[in-house]
Amino acid sequence: MSTPVTGREPRPTPTIYEPSLMTVVDLVDETVDTRTLRLEFNDEGLRESFAFRAGQFGEYSAFGAGECTFCIASPPTRAGALECTFKTVGKVTAALRELNVGDTMGFRGPYGNWFPVDDWHGKNVLFVAGGIGLAPVRCVIWNVLDRRDEFGDVTIVYGARSVDDLVYKRELEEWAGRADVNMVTTVDPGGETPDWDGRVGFVPTVLGEVAPSAKDAVAVVCGPPIMIKFSFPVLADLGFADDDVFTTLEMRMKCGVGKCGRCNIGPYYVCKDGPVFSATQLKTLPPEY
Amino acid sequence: MTEPHDLTTEAPEATTGAPGAAREAAPDRYPETGAPDETGDLHGVARHVLAKGEADVVIGWEEGRRGVRPAFVTTPDDVERLVFDTRCVHNLATYLNPRRRQVAALGRPAVVIKGCDAKAVAGLLREAQLSRDQVVLIGVRCGGVLEVAELDEPADLTPETVSPRCYRCDNREPHLVDYLVGDPQAEPPRPPKTVDERVAELEDAPVAERWHFWVEEFSRCVRCYACREVCPLCICERCVADKSVPQWIDAASHPRGNLSWNLTRALHLAGRCVECGECERACPSGLPLMLLNRKLAQAVRQRFDYVAGDDPEVPAPVGDYRLDDAEEFIR
Amino acid sequence: MSQERQTDAAPALFLAEGELAALVDELAAADVEVIGIVEAAAASPAAAAADVLHGRPALEYRVLPPGVTPLLGPGMPRLSLKGFFLPQTEALFGWRQHGADVGIERSAAATRPRVALGVKPCDAAALEIVDHVMNWDYADDPWNERRAATTVFSLACPVEDSSCFCAAVGLAPDTARGADGLLTPVTGGWVVEPTTEKGAAFVAAHAERFGPAAPALVAEGAERRRTAAERVRANLEIDADSVRDWIAGHFDDPELAALGVRCHGCGACAFVCPTCHCFDIVDETEGVGRGTRRRLWDTCQTGKFTVHASGHNPRDDQNARFRQRVNHKFSIYPLRFGEVLCTGCGRCSRECHAGQDLVEILGAIDVAARRPEAAVAAADGGEA
């Protein structure tokens, strides 16, 4: 039992549970407990061929600790490396945080469905995110910005509990500086610093104040459940149809490929049917997420 | 080899049961609460506690499609469902465990308990998992039970079918109760082999053989944790087996993982286990968990002169701190 | 990976009682592992007393040691056959780490040929049902390798007790689904009917052990199978399609939302179930710089199954968890894969320490689903 290799020949091909090895090429501390890793496949062929769509996720391995599920936080339009952003909460994330540049970890993916970005040609795109919920949205934001001329207005409403909790701070500045992006950053009341020049208020409230037009628009929403819950009615008031509002669900997962059974919500397997759901779909789900 | 410590023959007067307040005070309470039939009618008492609002739900036993099973009666009209006979083996004190939110949601419970179950209630009280005024205890006089609840009819107790733990039970009439029902019962038969005899037999074997025995037994463990979930005293909000930082216990059901789980479970219950045997009955692989539990009970009795009884005021060796403790390291 | 079925019904064969030991020996000599049912060692007093009261010994599936023949009679092993295809724990791969370098060591494929003789039909059928999820877009190699390496012969079942309900979920006590052939007990031996090419090849490879089945014996077997089928239908009859749709449309119905009151959440039902296939994946280190990633059985009946890293738990009490068990088996899986994730073996009811009873629960849901207002509601809201 103690060694996996028996007298018999090992499998010639990997099973679906075997990760590809990746090397940490860069890391950024977003907040005190949130880190972004930039990863490159060790295998040259994979580096070339790896492709995914905005919204898909992966299973990230810290050998000895296990696997953890995060969306891919970098856009598919920037091949060669991928990024993930995670908060240190458990065994695997703690182990991933131990990794330094040059260290090896594992990756399985891409898994799940994606935001239907290709269907949004010519549309205005609204992004609403809270806290670390910006990670999956960031993938879509860059995907859209990298193909900027295919879309109409781009509005980003992003907030966190406090200034310290804002992630991707350099990119927030970059987006704010772009003329083709309407960037609104906010922190919860009490979370501001003396030199804070953004807004103060909860994301759903600020979203209502910004009041982006729902005409020819789609919305991508991701953040803590409470933020999503209160943002949906605001979007509905603004005139967004449920079919045009998308979010990505987070569920405890192990396999990522529809086998292990733990990400069931109602009739859906989040790993296969999601993680991206429209508000229309979300409203049919039992409250088990 | 070590000699067997037969608790029952050593007549553990000192700490078992409750020589103190609870034992004397309990009988006074029956008339006070106005039970309709002091001589013991389960239906009458259940109807009374529900009708008077003493409890919102009576947890007892009912006839199911496959024998008797736990029942949750919430209206006085429904009390006729309740039964008590030799098939009523379950320790219903398990449902008082605060982890069971779906039971807590039913409201204030009254629970039907045998003497052995009363010891589990005492354990929960002793460990502050429950307060006495949160629960109504309906004691049943018991003459022993079968090991199996899934029978169409109650069967007579024979040496082969009686639950071995019932042999020389020191608490056939529970004291930690608000009501006591049923007629006094005869002593149950002696099983062909008592649990103590089985423990002694194993202890007489050479170490290598004992080791082999347990490795073989534990190899069949499927790690469903049924033993833990049915245990009235496995009260941890988060079990050590479910913790991964650090991973004390391998989750996999290989020999290392199985050994560390089963030994940890037994050790965490040393001096707390009331030997109700729920773990062993719930085990889908038929592991002889009571041998471990019993061995540890013997050790606790020998070292600390303590037997888990139904007096919540008697402190358990684990959880009791004394300035005059014999062990220096702890002072 | 559904099995190739033979279209032409081959003439039935006969395996005489006296030939069984020789057949098993022949297989052992050919280095084929034989899986069969044997008496389980009942170590605990509870298990022993239960055996006495039930008047029958506890059984288990085992890889037969040399010289042991499988029991080909009535009786249901406590654990199903699934552990031979989805082991309680298995190594997915190992790794070795040296500084920044990590090497993955693949486990060996499970390819040793095996024959399972005298499997409960409900256990064999489960294999084909679980094949769907194990091959849903991503092929689960360990499962498929074991499926491919194993020839399965089911044994027509006399129906064990009142908790059997295979007929209610579209099966039968003599189904050969998931198997390569069927054995039917008759006077002096078994009528043998291979149903796949694999089964036919097995029979052909051991032709000397099998003779032609006399028409009288075939008729005897057919009669036994007919009475067994009748018996199991009397235990439970439901309309599985209505049940599926009713559950989908009645998530918050009190009938579904309060199923877990007496349930201890121990998960024994899932562990003994032939179709429950949920698993966990864990890493185990073995000293410094090496370890194994394993998968192990897991169950939706524990709180740990769904709890998020944040502490939030989408299914926070046993009512929610038990509803998930019923929902997954009788609604989610059939909506997704076209058939119920249950073979009616009844183990969950038999093993349940608290008396949870699927026969009773399904019966009640079936009644609810047949109520006229339920049919209307299901048509309105059951599309989800």
Boundary of a domain, candidates A68, A95, A111 = A111
Residue B11: per-residue pLDDT? 37
A271, part of any domain: no
What digits encode the pLDDT tens for the residues B300-318? 999 889 999 999 999 888 8
Handedness of CA B228, B234, B235, B238 (dihedral sign): negative
- Residue B248, pLDDT score: 86
Query: What number is the ipTM of this complex?
Result: 0.90
Q: How far is B211 from chain A (nearest CA, A)?
A: 18
Q: Chain A residues with CB inside 8 Å of C136's CB? A: 258-259, 272
| CA B154 – CA C56 distance, rounded (Å) | 18
**pLDDT exceeds cutoff 50 at C56:** yes
Mean pLDDT confidence for B58-72: 95
B153: helix, strand or coil: coil
Tens-digit pLDDT profile for residues C257-305: 999 999 999 999 999 999 999 999 999 988 889 999 999 999 999 988 9
What pLDDT, in 10s, does the model give residues B286-295?
899 999 999 9
A74 and A184 housed in the same domain: no
State the CATH number of the domain containing residue A241.
3.40.50.80
In a domain, A286, yes or no: no
Check residues A78 and C382 and name the one with the higher pLDDT: A78
Instruction: Give the H or E element holding residue C336.
Output: helix C333-337
Distances (CA, A) of C274 to C114, C125, C316, C342: 19, 9, 26, 8
Tokens of A30: 């977003």
Looking at the structure, tell me whether residues A104 and A181 fall in a common domain.
Answer: no
Same domain, A40 and A79: yes
Mean pLDDT of C14-26: 95
Residues A190 and A84 in one domain: no
d(CA C78, CA C58): 7
Q: Indicate the pLDDT class of residue C383, thresholds 50, 70 and 90.
A: very low
At B7 the pLDDT is: 37
Q: What is the pTM of this model?
A: 0.90
How far is the first Cα of chain A from the last one, in angstroms, to the nearest whole number? 37
- Residue A39 included in any domain: yes
Nearest-by-Cβ selection for A91 from B245, B255, B256: B245
> Are the C-beta atoms of C84 and C61 separated by less than 8 Å?
yes
Q: Residue B40 — pLDDT band, cuts 50, 70, 90?
A: low
Residue B331: the pLDDT is: 62
Please give the full DSSP string across C343-354, using - where no structure is assigned.
Answer: ----HHHHH-TT
Contacts of C348 (CB under 8 A, 6+ apart): C269, C270, C272, C273, C356, C358
Same domain, A136 and A175: yes
Q: Is the pLDDT of residue C377 over 60?
A: no
Contacts of B247 in chain A (CB under 8 A): 91
If pLDDT is split at 50, 70 and 90, which confidence band does C17 have?
very high
What pLDDT band is residue C43 in, cutting at 50, 70 and 90? low
Note down pLDDT in tens along chain A; length 289 residues.
333 434 578 888 899 999 999 999 999 999 999 999 999 999 999 999 999 999 999 999 999 999 999 999 999 988 789 999 999 988 999 999 999 999 999 999 999 999 999 999 999 999 999 999 999 999 999 999 999 999 999 999 999 999 999 999 999 999 999 999 999 999 999 999 999 999 999 999 999 999 999 999 999 999 988 899 999 999 999 999 999 999 998 888 899 999 999 898 888 999 999 999 999 999 888 887 7
Place of tokens 């060796």: B317
Cα C244 from Cα C331, distance rounded (Å): 4
Torsion of CA C96, A60, A114, A32, to 10 degrees: -160
* Euclidean distance between CA atoms A52 and A119, whole angstroms: 16
Give the C-alpha separation, C122 to C130, whole Å: 12
Domain boundary among A68, A92, A111: A111
In SS3 terms, A209-267 reads as HHCCCCCCEEEEEECCHHHHHHHHHHHHHHCCCHHHEEEECCCCCCCCCCCCCCCEECC
Residue that wins the pLDDT comparison between A223 and B12: A223
Is the domain of A138 the same as that of A238?
yes
The per-residue pLDDT of chain C, averaged, comes to: 90
The predicted model gives C102-115 an average pLDDT of: 88
pLDDT of residue B329: 74
Considering the domain architecture, whether residues A236 and A139 belong to the same structural domain is answered as yes
Domain assignment present for A8: no
Q: Does C50 contact chain A (CB < 8 Å)?
A: no
Question: Taking the domains of chain C in order of start, what are their residue ranges?
Answer: 13-79+108-234, 240-279+298-381
Cα–Cα distance for residue pair B229/B224, rounded to 1 Å:
9
- The answer to whether B330 contacts chain C (CB < 8 Å) is no
| Chains touching B (3+ CB pairs < 8 Å) | A, C
- What is the model's pLDDT at position C9? 58
Q: List CB contacts (< 8 A) between C302 and chain B.
A: 225, 229
pLDDT at B325: 77
CATH number of the domain within which A70 lies: 2.40.30.10
Question: Does residue B100 sit at the C interface (CB-CB below 8 Å)?
Answer: yes
H and E: helices and strands count for chain B: 10, 6
Q: 3-class DSSP state for residue B203?
A: helix
Query: What are the beta bridge partners of residue A108?
Result: A59
User: With bands split at pLDDT 50, 70 and 90, how would you rate the model's confidence at C160?
Assistant: very high
Residues A97 and A71 placed together within one structural domain of the fold: yes
In the numeric block, the tokens 């920044």 are attached to: C100
Question: Do both A106 and A130 map to the same domain?
Answer: no
Closest C-alpha among C84, C88, C95 to residue C293: C95
Closest CA to A105 of A50, A44, A62, A43: A62
Nearest CA in chain B to C353: B282
Instruction: Give the three-class secondary structure for B40.
Output: coil
Dump pLDDT digits (tens) for C212-225: 999 999 999 999 99
Q: Are residues A222 and A136 in the same domain?
A: yes
pLDDT tens digits for C196-217? 999 999 999 999 999 999 999 9
Looking at the structure, do residues A146 and A240 belong to the same domain, yes or no? yes
Residues A177-218 have pLDDT tens digits of: 999 999 999 999 999 999 999 999 999 999 999 999 999 999
Q: In chain A, which residues have their Cβ closer than 8 Å to the Cβ of C133?
A: 258-259
Q: Look at residue A269 and tell me if it is in a domain.
A: no
State the SS3 of C230-285: HHHHHHCCCCHHHHHHHHHHCCCCHHHHCCCCCCCCCCHHHHHCCCCCCEEEEEEE
Helix (H), strand (E) counts: chain C: 14, 12
Chains touching A (3+ CB pairs < 8 Å)? B, C
Contact list in B for residue A91 (CB cut-off 8 A) is: 244-245, 247
E-assigned strands of chain C? 13-16, 33-39, 59-63, 89-98, 101-106, 114-119, 150-155, 181-186, 189-194, 210-212, 279-285, 290-297
Token pair for B294? 């019993």
Cβ–Cβ of B256/A90 closer than 8 Å? Answer: no
Residues A124 and A220 placed together within one structural domain of the fold: yes
Final residue belonging to a domain, choices A86, A111, A136: A111
Looking at the structure of chain A, the number of domains it has is: 2
The residue range of the domain holding A157 is 117-248
Q: Which amino acid is at A175?
A: W
Query: Residue A289: its pLDDT value, please?
Result: 79
